[in-house]
Protein backbone atom coordinates (compact mmCIF):
# COMPACT_ATOMS: atom_id res chain seq x y z
CA UNK A 1 0.00 0.00 0.00
CA UNK A 2 1.21 3.51 -0.79
CA UNK A 3 2.70 5.45 2.14
CA UNK A 4 0.35 8.37 1.38
CA UNK A 5 -2.71 6.11 1.65
CA UNK A 6 -1.40 4.70 4.93
CA UNK A 7 -0.97 8.23 6.33
CA UNK A 8 -4.43 9.16 5.05
CA UNK A 9 -5.92 6.17 6.89
CA UNK A 10 -4.01 7.26 10.00
CA UNK A 11 -5.38 10.80 9.78
CA UNK A 12 -8.92 9.48 9.22
CA UNK A 13 -8.64 7.22 12.28
CA UNK A 14 -7.15 10.08 14.29
CA UNK A 15 -10.01 12.37 13.31
CA UNK A 16 -12.64 9.84 14.34
CA UNK A 17 -11.11 8.92 17.69
CA UNK A 18 -10.33 12.55 18.55
CA UNK A 19 -13.75 13.85 17.54
CA UNK A 20 -15.37 11.21 19.75
CA UNK A 21 -14.30 13.18 22.85
CA UNK A 22 -15.73 16.51 21.69
CA UNK A 23 -19.41 15.87 22.56
CA UNK A 24 -18.50 14.79 26.11
CA UNK A 25 -16.17 17.75 26.60
CA UNK A 26 -18.85 20.16 25.37
CA UNK A 27 -21.52 18.57 27.57
CA UNK A 28 -19.33 18.74 30.68
CA UNK A 29 -18.36 22.33 29.88
CA UNK A 30 -22.01 23.39 29.50
CA UNK A 31 -23.51 21.46 32.42
CA UNK A 32 -20.56 21.43 34.83
CA UNK A 33 -21.80 17.94 35.67
CA UNK A 34 -19.27 15.12 35.87
CA UNK A 35 -20.96 12.75 38.30
CA UNK A 36 -21.35 9.93 35.77
CA UNK A 37 -17.79 10.19 34.47
CA UNK A 38 -15.21 7.74 35.78
CA UNK A 39 -12.22 9.50 37.33
CA UNK A 40 -10.09 6.35 37.08
CA UNK A 41 -10.86 5.90 33.39
CA UNK A 42 -9.90 9.48 32.55
CA UNK A 43 -6.72 9.32 34.66
CA UNK A 44 -5.58 6.19 32.82
CA UNK A 45 -6.74 7.59 29.46
CA UNK A 46 -4.81 10.84 29.81
CA UNK A 47 -1.70 8.92 30.90
CA UNK A 48 -2.06 6.61 27.90
CA UNK A 49 -2.53 9.57 25.56
CA UNK A 50 0.59 11.22 26.97
CA UNK A 51 2.56 8.03 26.38
CA UNK A 52 1.20 7.70 22.81
CA UNK A 53 2.15 11.33 22.22
CA UNK A 54 5.72 10.70 23.37
CA UNK A 55 5.87 7.55 21.24
CA UNK A 56 4.55 9.44 18.22
CA UNK A 57 7.08 12.23 18.70
CA UNK A 58 9.96 9.78 19.06
CA UNK A 59 8.89 7.76 16.01
CA UNK A 60 8.03 10.81 13.89
CA UNK A 61 4.45 9.62 13.28
CA UNK A 62 2.53 12.81 12.43
CA UNK A 63 -1.01 11.36 12.55
CA UNK A 64 -0.27 9.77 15.92
CA UNK A 65 1.13 13.01 17.32
CA UNK A 66 -1.74 15.13 15.99
CA UNK A 67 -4.44 12.78 17.21
CA UNK A 68 -3.01 12.28 20.66
CA UNK A 69 -2.18 15.95 21.20
CA UNK A 70 -5.73 17.07 20.44
CA UNK A 71 -7.34 14.12 22.23
CA UNK A 72 -5.17 14.76 25.26
CA UNK A 73 -6.43 18.35 25.37
CA UNK A 74 -10.06 17.17 25.18
CA UNK A 75 -9.68 14.28 27.63
CA UNK A 76 -7.45 16.40 29.87
CA UNK A 77 -10.12 19.10 29.91
CA UNK A 78 -12.73 16.55 30.92
CA UNK A 79 -10.39 15.23 33.62
CA UNK A 80 -9.75 18.76 34.87
CA UNK A 81 -13.48 19.46 35.06
CA UNK A 82 -14.04 16.09 36.80
CA UNK A 83 -11.49 17.07 39.44
CA UNK A 84 -12.91 20.59 39.74
CA UNK A 85 -16.65 19.84 39.73
CA UNK A 86 -16.50 16.31 41.13
| Model confidence pLDDT, tens digit, residues 39-74 | 999 999 999 999 999 999 999 988 889 889 999 999
Q: How much of the chain, in percent, has pLDDT values that exceed 90?
A: 73
Please state, in angstroms and as integers, the Cα–Cα distance from residue 56 to each residue in 22, 65, 86, following that order: 22, 5, 32
pTM: 0.82
Q: How many domains does the chain have?
A: 1
CATH number of the domain bearing residue 74: 1.20.1280.290
- Please state, in angstroms and as integers, the Cα–Cα distance from residue 76 to each residue in 35, 37, 72, following that order: 16, 13, 5
| CB of 62 closer than 8 Å to CB of 7 | yes
Domain that holds residue 19: 4-85
Mention every residue, 6+ apart, whose C-beta is less than 8 A from residue 79: 39, 42, 43, 45, 46
pLDDT at 66: 87
CB of 18 within 8 A of CB of 71?
Answer: yes
pLDDT for the residue numbered 60: 93
Q: Is the pLDDT of residue 30 over 90?
A: yes
Amino acid sequence: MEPFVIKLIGFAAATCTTAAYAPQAIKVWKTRSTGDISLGMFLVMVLGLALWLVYGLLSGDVPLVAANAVTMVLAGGILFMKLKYG
